[in-house]
Amino acid sequence: MMRPILLALTALLAPALVALSLAVAPSVRRRGAPAAALTILASLASFGAAVALLFEHSARLTVPWLRTGARVIAEVGVNVDGVSTSMLVVVTFVALCVQVFSLGYMHDESPPAFGRYFAYHALFLFSMNLLVLAPNLLQLFAGWELVGVTSYLLIGFYYKKPSAAHAAVKAFWVTKFADMGFLFGLLTLFVATGSFSFNVALTPPVAVAVTLLFFLAVVGKSAQFPLHVWLPDAMEGPTPVSALLHAATMVAAGVFLVVRADPLFAQAESTRTVMLVVGVGTALFAALLALVQTDIKKVLAYSTCSQLGYMIAALGAGSMLGGFFHLTTHAFFKALLFLAAGSIIHAVGSNELSKMGGLARRMPVTFAAFTIGALSLAAVPGFSGFFSKDLVLEAVAGKLGSIPLALLVATAFLTAFYMGRVLVVAFLGAPSSDEAAHAHEAGWSMKLPLLALAALSLVAGFFAAPFAKLHGQAYHFHFGGVAAVGTAAGLLGLVLAYTLSSARIARATRAVSELARGSAVDRFYEYSFRRVTLVLSDSLAWVDRYVVDGMINLLGYRTIDAGRGMRPLQTGMAPDYVLAVVVGAASLAAWTVLR
Amino acid sequence: MSELRALWVPLAVAAVAIVLLVVDVLTHPHTSRRWLGYFVAGALAAIFCATFLFPTDGRAAHGAFEGSAWTTSFQRLFLSAGVVAALGGLDDVAKRTPHRVGEYWLAMLFSIIGMLILPGARDLVLLIVAFELMGIPLYVLAAYAKTETKGGHAAEAALKLYLTGATSTAITLFGLALFTGMTGTTRLDALAGAAGATTPLAGVGLAFVIAGMGYKLGMVPFHMWVPDTYQGASTPFVAFLSVAPKAAGVAAMSAIFLFGMRGHPAHWAPVIALLAILSMVVGNLLALPQTDLRRLLGYSGIAQMGYVLVALASNDTFAAGMTFFFLTAYLFTNMGAFLVLHVAAESSGEHSAASLAGLAQRAPGLAAALMAFLLSLAGIPFVVGFWAKLYVLLAAFRAGLVLPVVVGIALAVVGLFYYLRVLSAAYMSEPGALKRPELGAPMRLAIGICVVAVVGLGLWPKPLVDQSLAAATSLLERR
């Protein structure tokens, strides 16, 4: 009984202690390197404890926190079971990789900034672990909020850049708006059942209300349409932060909430249908937007929205395993992609794909890592993304007349296509800038995490069966029709990206001969691509930018205007104030009588 | 003897006030009187500690005053507010009015005596006397320094406070006259059985009482003095004004409504809920466009009081406990925020967000303290404001007040916007020509106390929650 608890507390408190000591000892923090060392040690301890927990049985320790009379209303503590342990391993591992990578990536920062960066990381890991190990929804909510604050600090790390400060505020604002749903959900759940447990029986209307409210928070945190607008902007943060927050942890927290509260969601079939629709819609919509991005991080950002859509769709289809397993593999390969992109940006000094090209020969490790990540994301058989995406597709098969399945297969095609495009443009062909021509691989602190994550992206898929066992489910892989269709879509996308783009690169260099050589198929592809997909994507980007984003901004500005509109009431004249007091009192009394 | 046992806390503070008066007179006119502030802080701190050692329960004046866990909890709150206010205001008072230091602390001690009696008052006459004892010295203190800061005039601020305050007192007294006229008693414990308590005219009386007390709390539409006074009076005093009298106002309202009128919530709870909603809406929305941070905190305080009143309107033991919890959280948070603001404004000469520019680089510790306070006001874990807001909303929602809770949660998001704006000025802008602010030792101690309370109670709120619930039980469930 004691051992799992001690391990869980280690995982939770090691980063907390470091964060606290860095907060109270600015002299250590401002020297930079010691802060980084402490933070990485804490993450190592957390990760070690998390791995050890995989071999322990379930356990639970709670301390009463709030009580009325003899009744305990809320508890805090740690909850060790299959769900929390596997999430803990993912979170601590990715955090560790990202922190080691940051040693190299953030090397040029001044020591105080370097130390501050790692202090935020320690705080973030604590918040995330608090959320993951929560024994009830109240503690999960506290962790959830703290993750929001810390992400604000991390996204706004380059706070001297106005766009970064703005992005941080926007991310905070949008997710906070969505968090209202969480709070309402908690209150409703508490009033209905008197507890914050994730596993209580509810009456059908309450179940739908509570889960829909929770889902609103998930939409914000996991960047689902229409609250996805903050995620692309949040790319203003340092690239390792994007790898941590926007691949593996913060955005996954939303999905984790649904997994954690699965017993509640299982009681609300209509919420699940909403989730399926929103998930599939976001997957397709974000994939289309990823097509037209020219910034490598924005491609990955929209791709994250899209993949989160897959997870939400799987959970909406009732497959907890599918959603959660895709979360796990996605955490590995998307963190890998972001870190590899960080390695490129570090070498080239720009996020723009047009400044890259020909990097395969100059940065072989990064190339290999990015390729493994991309192939995994494209769900090529054998790579981890294939197994998890297959689980998602199997889960949605047959739901709502197979429309979700068809759309997700189409998305799989688009995913492979845009990842193929990035691979080709960034790594193949000739360098498009001086920086790209002289790019070189960074030191081991940046290569090692890439290799570790690449290894996991390669093999994680084969651990589906033990993963399922952790959650008390069975998993047997079979290569059925769904898998075949999904694979075909993915491969088609990759091949198309390769042929189309190499043709375009060729045309850029030898425009004349290209015209002569261009086959009818090429032209057809390109025509249909330009006329249909690109127009569609561009118009969607327009809608996204001006309509969805605009509405959200409008809401903000209207609120400020409402505040300004009330200002003239405050005249500054004492007689007016006295009058207001008297009139106020009189109308209150009148209201009492007439009510 | 039992009378003394129940009343010793206010009596001890009265003794301190008399000693202070004598010492002040005997001190040579030309010597520095700065140390009087230390004397006040030390004496109040000693009394605070003594409340844990000596019993404070019992009845006095034939039951007009009752010492209980509820009374003692509030008394400790006022004593700690006094300690922080004395430490935080010590240097400011000694600098601005070096020859009138004694009277300043005397006025503040008198006001505190009034507050100490309020939560235990079980008779309307005692209650209104204590209420005025608390209020009148505040008019004096608001005008005290005759400060002329940018955009703020102490005399004007005090006059507005006084004029509207006098009006509201008149309204309160009128309401009480109607109410006691209908019920035939001034004793709060006799109201439960009083036949006239539910008549329409008694309802009108109660509405007037709510209006008058709502003025002290800065409830909309009786809030207009708040931003002007906060802007005009000296900031360390505003730190005190913005929390202690408000907590005392809530204590008085709890005595009348939760203790006296518990059985007839329909006659007062909707009125309070209405004011709560108005306050949350107007306070939050008007805080948005403010540029002067004192006004911003003023409007934010109006909104925060809205949350307290939501809990009060729940008419429930749990909610009453959470009212106290919220007030404690708010007291340390808001005092701390005003004191940091004062320090920053002293070094820059203005009270706009620009005075905080680059505070994180000029004074990292001070900026971190400000962050703790602002996050607490915004309701972010793990600072105490998060639990305060959560518990209050939870209590109200459980009592069935859905609409106020919905409004409260929605507007809390608006609140984030302006708190974050202040915070980003401190953390995300360049200091420019601004210098490192100077902090005296007492100011450090005052801000330190607030930080420890805000962060400590945020990490481990359980002791305070237990204490709050025990206090509420002693008020509501003893009979």
Mean pLDDT score of chain B: 87
Mutation target among B176, B182, B285, B309 for the A interface, most CBs of A within 10 A: B285
Is the pLDDT confidence value at A68 over 80? no
**What is the pTM (predicted TM-score) of this model?**
0.76
What are all long-range contacts of B69-72, with beta carbons under 8 Å and residues at least 24 apart?
Answer: B69/B467, B69/B470, B69/B471, B69/B473, B69/B474, B70/B119, B70/B120, B70/B254, B70/B324, B70/B471, B70/B472, B70/B474, B70/B475, B71/B119, B71/B120, B72/B9, B72/B471
DSSP string covering B412-437, please? HHHHHHHHHHHHHHHHSS--TTPPPP
Structural domain of B295: 268-479
Residue of A nearest to B160 (CA): A574
Determine, for residues B286 and A26 on separate chains, whether the beta-carbon distance falls below 8 Å. Answer: no
**What's the pLDDT at B95?**
85
Half-sphere exposure of B364 (CA within 13 A, CB side): 11
Please tell me what DSSP assigns to residue B187.
B
A63 forms beta bridges with A76
Comparison of pLDDT for B94 and A435, the residue scoring more? B94
Q: What is the pLDDT of residue A508?
A: 42
Which amino acid is residue A165, in one-letter code? A
The residue ranking higher by pLDDT, A577 or A303, is: A303
B interface mutation test: which of A577, A583, A594 has the most B CBs within 10 A? Answer: A577
> Can you tell me the mean pLDDT for A315-325?
87
Q: Rounded mean pLDDT of A358-385?
A: 84
Structure tokens at B178: 């109607």
Query: How confident is residue A510, by pLDDT bands cut at 50, 70 and 90?
Result: very low
CA distances from A29 to A92, A544, B359, B371, B452 (A): 22, 41, 18, 18, 21
**Can you give the pLDDT at residue A573?**
67
In chain B, the number of structural domains is 1
Do the domain assignments include residue B257? no
* pLDDT given at position B328: 95
Of A67, A176, A592, the CB nearest to B204: A592
- For the segment B15-32, what is each residue's pLDDT rounded down to a tens digit? 999 999 999 888 887 788
Rounded-to-integer distance, Cα A257 and Cα A518, Å: 51
How many CB pairs below 8 A link A and B? 153
Coil, helix or strand at residue B315: coil
* A352 and B CB contact within 8 Å: no
B274 vs A contacts (CB less than 8 Å): 588, 591
Strongest mean pLDDT among A19-23, A27-31, A354-358, A497-501: A19-23
Is the confidence at residue A506, as pLDDT, over 60? no
Question: Which residues, 6 or more positions from B264, have their beta carbon under 8 angstroms from its beta carbon?
Answer: B197, B198
Position A70 pLDDT exceeds 60: yes
Euclidean distance between CA atoms B184 and B190, whole angstroms: 10
Least confident of A199-208, A256-265, B83-92: A199-208
Q: Tell me the CA end-to-end span of chain B in Å, nearest whole number.
A: 24
Does B229 score more than 90 pLDDT?
no
CA distance A342 to chain B (A): 24
- Does A199 contact chain B (CB < 8 Å)? no
* Spatial CA neighbour of A168 closest among B416, B296, B370, B408: B416
Q: Element (H or E) spanning A137, and its range? A: helix A137-155
Token readout for A372 is 């493994």
Measured between CA atoms, the residue of chain B closest to residue A183 is B409
pLDDT over 50 at A98, yes or no: yes
How confident is residue B118, by pLDDT bands cut at 50, 70 and 90? Answer: very high
Beta-bridge mates of residue A27? none
Residues 165-194 of B with CB under 8 A from A: 167-168, 171
**Contact yes or no for B171/B212 (Cβ under 8 A):** yes
Q: Is the pLDDT of residue A258 over 80?
A: yes
Q: How far apart are CA A357 and CA A346, in angstroms?
A: 15
d(CA A133, CA A486): 35
Interface of A with B in 501-560 (CB under 8 A): 556, 559-560
Contact residues, B window 412-441, toward A, CB-based 8 Å cutoff: 413-414, 416-417, 420, 424, 427-428, 430
Helices vs. strands in chain A: H and E counts, helices first: 28, 2
Query: Which residues of chain B have a CB within 8 Å of the CB of A23?
Result: 368
Closest CB to B288: pick one of A23, A559, A591. Answer: A559
Taking CB atoms and an 8 Å limit, are A593 and B160 in contact across chains?
no
Contacts of A559 in chain B (CB under 8 A): 285, 288, 414, 417
The H-or-E segment that residue A470 falls in is helix A464-470
Mean pLDDT of A23-29: 74
Q: Is residue B461 part of a domain?
A: yes
Residue B418 in any domain: the answer is yes
What pLDDT was estimated at residue A555? 58
Find the angle CA(B379)-CA(B384)-CA(B388) to the nearest 5 degrees. 65
Confidence label for B79 from pLDDT (cuts 50, 70 and 90): very high
pLDDT of residue B85: 94
What does the DSSP 8-state code read for residue B64?
Answer: T
Give how far A205 is from chain B: nearest CA, Å. 17
Share of chain A above pLDDT 90, in %: 6
pLDDT tens column, B293-317: 888 999 999 999 999 999 999 988 8
Residue B122 resides in a domain: no
What are the tokens at A230? 């903050």
The whole-number pLDDT of residue A521 equals 35
Torsion of CA A498, A503, A509, A512, to 10 degrees: 180
> What tokens appear for A542 in the block?
């327009």
- Best of B382, B384, B411, B451 to substitute, by most chain A Cβ atoms within 10 angstroms, is B382
**Phi/psi at A222 (nearest 5 deg)?**
-95, 15
- The reply to whether omega before B382 is within 30° of 0 (cis) is yes
Interchain pair B406, A184: CB under 8 A: yes
Is B205 part of any domain?
no
Minimal-distance CA residue of chain A relative to B320: A68
pLDDT given for residue A169 in this prediction:
74
Nearest-neighbour CA in chain B from A159: distance (Å): 6
Cβ contacts of A149 on chain B, cutoff 8 Å: 375, 380
Asked if residue A198 has pLDDT above 90, the reply is: no
- Which of B160, B204, B380 shows the shortest C-beta gap to A577? B160
Question: Is any Cβ of chain A less than 8 angstroms from the Cβ of B470?
Answer: no
The answer to whether the CB of A378 falls within 8 A of the CB of A490 is yes
Q: Is residue B291 part of a domain?
A: yes
**Domain assignment of residue B255, yes or no:** no
**B8 domain residue, yes or no:** no
Give me the mean pLDDT over the A64-71 stretch.
Answer: 66
Structural tokens at position B444: 């450090």
Among A390-399, A515-524, B462-471, which range has the highest average pLDDT?
A: B462-471
Mutant choice from A129, A581, A593 vs B, greatest count of B C-beta within 10 A: A581
pLDDT tens for residues B141-193?
Answer: 888 766 555 555 777 778 888 888 888 899 999 999 988 888 888 888 888 77
Q: State the Cα–Cα distance between residues A333 and A455, nearest whole angstrom.
A: 10
Interface contact flag, A570 B227, Cβ < 8 Å: yes
Residues in B closer than 8 angstroms to A66, CB to CB, are 391, 461-462, 465
Interface contact B461, partner A, CB < 8 A: yes
Q: Is the pLDDT of residue A467 over 80?
A: no
- Quick one: which of B452, B472, B118 has its CA closest to B325? B472
d(CA B329, CA B383): 9
Closest partner CB to A592 (pick from B212, B271, B282) = B271
A 110-149 residues with CB < 8 A to B:
142-143, 145-146, 149
Tokens of A333: 């390969």
| Contacts B267 to A, Cβ<8 Å | 592
Say yes or no to pLDDT of A464 above 50.
yes
A272 has a pLDDT exceeding 50: yes
Facing residues of B468 across strands?
A: none
Kindly indicate the confidence band of residue A246, based on its pLDDT and cuts at 50, 70 and 90. Answer: confident
Residue A522, pLDDT above cutoff 70: no
Region B451-470: what's the mean pLDDT? 90
Q: Flag whether pLDDT at B329 surpasses 90.
A: yes
The interface residues of chain B toward chain A in range 370-399, judged by CB-CB distance below 8 A, are 375, 380-382, 386, 390-391, 393-394, 397-398
| Greatest Cα-to-Cα distance within chain A, rounded to the nearest angstrom | 91
